[in-house]
Structure 1
Amino acid sequence: MHTDSDILQLEDAQQACTDVPMAESTVNSRTRDLDRLLLRAGHLVDPNFQPSIELKDYIQDYARVLVVGAGGLGCELLKDLALSGFKNLDVIDMDRIEVTNLNRQFLFRLEDVGKPKAEVAAKRVMERVSGVKIVPHFCRIEDKNIDFYNDFIIIVLGLDSVEARSYINSVACSFLEYDENEKPIEETVKPMVDGGTEGFKGHARVIIPGMTPCFECTIWLFPPQVKFPLCTLAETPRTAAHCIEYAHLIKWDEIHSGKTFDPDDPEDMQWVYKEALKRAELFGIPGVTYSLTQGVVKNIIPAIASTNAIISAACALETLKIVSGCSKTLDNYLTFNGVEGLHTKVTHFEMDINCIVCGPGVHMELDTSCTLQKFLELLEKHPKLHLSKVSVIFEGKNLYMQGPLEQETRSNLSKTLFDLMGRVPSGTVHVNGTSSKNDKKTSGLRKLRVFFKGADGMTDMDTAGGA
């Protein structure tokens, strides 16, 4: 058995093999383990890794990390990242704390019920880990300007829905640019680490846009949502879930004709719960609760605290590895199964070179006379896109926007896209719209590589605006 003296001698011998001296107090300091990763060379490091005090200072003082979600996994992520040396964190979440959260979201207390998750989670971590600054954002992820996400060196996801992941994925991939050889430009890559849990199962994955598959590349990994026949819901309900879906899918439209159900609105969810309860009592079916109503309507599987802790640890480690290069990263999808015993596996998935989100972009060839209005119509009919309610952005300029800016940009609809893009022969256009897939509507950014027919052969006078 090794004594403490033997271990210290071994550490001294290992340190002598590196070019970076470590302080004498390192072994006993709070950042001992971080120092061993960042201040020593190794055989499994990234080719560009340079152990140094400056690297450690960069991670602690300058690297900004965004955590998306402050629920069961998000709470763990904030704590793990703060203890891993990251001192500049932001967290975004639109939910408020509920009593049912308290059994696994350990940063919250009974007196916090009703308060924004992001704000309370940030406060609690800052109270526990000195020197850490966490900026909370209590809002929807779609409410933030796209440039907001570009301010972070990496984005870490702790979400519970496919739609939210898809949106953040499309935002991060929208920053990606390719050179003339269709190779990703390194400084435009926005890495992501995605974690997810379902009961005793979970996953952690590394997404490096342009190098590894993005979320859209492997969307097929997520099974389609279970659907009940409407005749069963309306005539012969047998379970509590049938009663809830009846209230959600049938009764809501009967009573609220024209109003869209919002699963994130507590009042809407409370209405569905009460109607489902009435339905269950009518047919003598037990088990309808508010928590189950949320789970059925939002397709949520109950979370387990231990699974969240395991997946969060994996995500935090991958975040540190990506930012510092202190070790090779996960390649590229880790699955965890703790239902019977323990099983973990890493799978290498390939990037889809034709992906409409992380690829070089969908190729579109247009006439120089194509108006912006006609361009929007083409997007809706495009076999790969099927986009509606589209906003169009070129080089940071809003050509046409939905929402409050629609009236301000409406005059551009009659202008040609060629003129609006500065009469360049080709360019990358970002569009933000709604598309339908697997009977579900999702919104997100798409990248289009627009080429104008005959624009290369135009004279200088043509380019200047002459015809």
Structure 2
Amino acid sequence: MTSQKRSALEMTNSSPTNALPIPQDTTSRPPLSGRQRGSLKTLLTRSSPFANETGSLPIGEFDTSNGGSQHATSTAKILVVGAGGLGCEILKDLAMSCVVRDIVVIDLDTIDVTNLNRQFLFRSKDVGHSKAEVAAKFINERCPWMNVEFYHGKIQDKDAEFYRQFKVVISGLDNVEARRWLNGMINNLVEFDEDGDPNPETIIPLVDGGTEGFSGQSRLILPRITSCFECSLDAFAPTAAVPLCTIAETPRIPEHCIAYAYVLQWAKEFPDRKLDTDSPADMKWVYEKALERANQFGIGGVTYMLTMGVVKNIIPAVASTNAIVSAVCVNEAMKVLSFCSQSLNTYMMYMGSEGIHSHTFVYEQKSTCPVCTTHVHRMALSPSTTLNALLQQLCEGEFRLKSPSVTSSSKTLYMRKPAALEKATKGNLDKPLNELINSGEELTITDPVFHDTSLQLIVTFE
């Protein structure tokens, strides 16, 4: 028995017959071979007692005849939104599992040196370049069986036709507002038949992933069927605002000094130019001004990294959390494309700070959700309430709107764009509601966070 055992050294120095030795130079590795990446053929051509139709969220029937499931995945096209810490992991998992060949990745950001510790598709030479472009190029060169296209820009710049081409959308976004917009877009693509039921051909599953430190989540959203991202908005605490008087007069912590630099000093120094948070020169200026103010008040702890975190609202990222959450997201994408296994219903939480622990539960659809339901909302207000006060309430209340516009059944009350219409309706903001509408009249509220969705609101006077 002893002679048949292999030492740990022998095992680490030997390579399997179907794999190439891994070069030590990570910047010049050859493309991977088909043998190295493996195949999903075994999984997709054998029947399973745990196929999709047996789960609590059945989407379709798993069919192994004629390689149907495998063909469905090979011809599909996936959109990956975000090429940061989570997005890099998602792209890698898609390439190595070969769920699909055709992928499109979109991201607005450029690569910063601080990204290199966890966003492993990037190298020092890539700093300053587009994340989406570099990530796509890396995957295409390292995994020649893949076809990854990229778009450098905002997701809001793409129209509905762009999103209709995909079978699944995987989101690796790091901010709530962009996720709300994407959720609204995907829900708006759903079409309904004569009976008011969603047309399955127009339903594009959205797999939403997110991480924060050692915690993460992945969820499967079937537009108009399951709960959507907007349904769970209450789970995200609103950003706590620091009083301006504290920032300007009595700063107590490093964050106050940083806020003073980029909110007040920047506007005073550069009144005609917006701060570019992706510009190293702009961020260095903010850091230096914040450091000066911190020294003035005897406050320590102002660093360039902290400045970046405060200004860009960066959430601390952990590479292992990104890897776990991305694996779950890609796994769900494979399941909704092939129906080979039961889909997630509908929310998975990973809690790495408590050990290797996760929790899965059904996030119920919110009956009053303005995105995935047709609920008409009602508000009782004093007739002397101004239109501006109503809009402010919509921004600070449960809907968390950003730039609402409002129309009644007979006229436009206030419209933010175009500028000419905003100028013509701005005078209504200070008027009481009883001068603008009748009690019980239905208003249509639009806002950029909802994409093309509108909020229907009936206002009655107390």
**Alpha-carbon deviation of 1:255?**
3.6
Between the aligned partners of 2:183 and 2:229, the Cα distance in structure 1 is 6
User: Equivalent residue for 1:446?
Assistant: 453
| CA deviation string 1:146-188 (max 9, x = no partner) | 2111111111001110011011111111111234444322122
**Alpha-carbon deviation of 1:260?**
5.0
From 316, 320, 328, the equivalent of 1:314 is: 328
User: Equivalent residue for 1:200?
Assistant: 214
User: Equivalent residue for 2:316?
Assistant: 302
User: Equivalent residue for 2:371?
Assistant: 357
Residues 144, 248 of structure 1: CA spacing in aligned structure 2 closer, same or farther, 3 A cutoff?
A: same
Q: Specify the SS of the correspondent of 2:219.
A: strand
User: Equivalent residue for 2:240?
Assistant: 226
Q: Are 2:80 and 1:67 equivalent residues in the alignment?
A: yes
Between the aligned partners of 1:162 and 1:70, the Cα distance in structure 2 is 16
User: Equivalent residue for 2:298?
Assistant: 284
Amino acid at match of 2:86: L
8 Å CA contact 1:200–1:307 kept in 2: the answer is: yes
Between the aligned partners of 1:271 and 1:390, the Cα distance in structure 2 is 36
User: Equivalent residue for 1:79?
Assistant: 92
Q: Are 2:154 and 1:132 equivalent residues in the alignment?
A: no
Amino acid at match of 1:43: P
Q: Are 2:57 and 1:50 equivalent residues in the alignment?
A: no
**Alpha-carbon deviation of 1:345?**
0.4
8 Å CA contact 1:167–1:445 kept in 2: the answer is: no
Between the aligned partners of 1:80 and 1:102, the Cα distance in structure 2 is 19
**Alpha-carbon deviation of 1:432?**
6.4
Between the aligned partners of 1:153 and 1:104, the Cα distance in structure 2 is 29
| CA deviation string 1:230-289 (max 9, x = no partner) | 333222323211111122333334444475555455554443223212211222323222
Q: Specify the SS of the correspondent of 1:102.
A: helix
**Alpha-carbon deviation of 1:45?**
1.0
Q: Specify the SS of the correspondent of 2:363.
A: coil
Q: Report matched runs for 1:166-245 at 5 Å.
A: 166-245=180-259
8 Å CA contact 2:103–2:148 kept in 1: the answer is: yes
**Alpha-carbon deviation of 1:447?**
4.9
User: Equivalent residue for 1:343?
Assistant: 357
Report which stretch shifted further, 297-306 or 106-115: 297-306
8 Å CA contact 1:94–1:140 kept in 2: the answer is: yes
Residues 272, 66 of structure 1: CA spacing in aligned structure 2 closer, same or farther, 3 A cutoff?
A: same
Report which stretch shifted further, 74-83 or 273-282: 273-282
Amino acid at match of 1:169: N
Instruction: Note the residue ranges of structure 1 that are not aligned, 5 or more in a row.
Output: 1-27, 365-376, 393-399, 408-429, 435-441, 451-467
8 Å CA contact 1:193–1:315 kept in 2: the answer is: yes
8 Å CA contact 1:159–1:195 kept in 2: the answer is: yes
Residues 385, 347 of structure 1: CA spacing in aligned structure 2 closer, same or farther, 3 A cutoff?
A: closer
Greater RCO (Cα-Cα under 8 Å, separation 6 or more): 2
Between the aligned partners of 1:117 and 1:350, the Cα distance in structure 2 is 35
Between the aligned partners of 1:218 and 1:137, the Cα distance in structure 2 is 29
Between the aligned partners of 1:224 and 1:122, the Cα distance in structure 2 is 34
| CA deviation string 1:351-393 (max 9, x = no partner) | 12332112247599xxxxxxxxxxxx9x97997797857699x
Between the aligned partners of 1:361 and 1:203, the Cα distance in structure 2 is 28
Q: Specify the SS of the correspondent of 1:209.
A: coil
Amino acid at match of 1:156: I
Q: Are 2:44 and 1:38 equivalent residues in the alignment?
A: yes
User: Equivalent residue for 1:106?
Assistant: 120
User: Equivalent residue for 2:432?
Assistant: none
User: Equivalent residue for 2:440?
Assistant: none
**Alpha-carbon deviation of 1:333?**
0.9
From 250, 254, 262, the equivalent of 2:264 is: 250
Q: Specify the SS of the correspondent of 2:52.
A: coil
Q: Specify the SS of the correspondent of 1:228.
A: coil
Amino-acid identity (%): 45
Report which stretch shifted further, 278-287 or 218-227: 278-287
| Superposition RMSD in Å | 3.3
8 Å CA contact 2:62–2:339 kept in 1: the answer is: yes
Amino acid at match of 1:73: L
8 Å CA contact 1:391–1:401 kept in 2: the answer is: no
**Alpha-carbon deviation of 1:89?**
0.3
From 102, 106, 109, the equivalent of 1:88 is: 102
Q: Report matched runs for 1:327-342 at 5 Å.
A: 327-342=341-356
8 Å CA contact 2:367–2:375 kept in 1: the answer is: no
- Equivalent residue pairs, number: 373
Between the aligned partners of 1:135 and 1:267, the Cα distance in structure 2 is 30
**Alpha-carbon deviation of 1:32?**
5.5
Amino acid at match of 2:52: D
8 Å CA contact 2:403–2:447 kept in 1: the answer is: yes
Q: Specify the SS of the correspondent of 1:342.
A: coil
Residues 258, 391 of structure 1: CA spacing in aligned structure 2 closer, same or farther, 3 A cutoff?
A: farther
User: Equivalent residue for 2:133?
Assistant: 119
User: Equivalent residue for 1:15?
Assistant: none
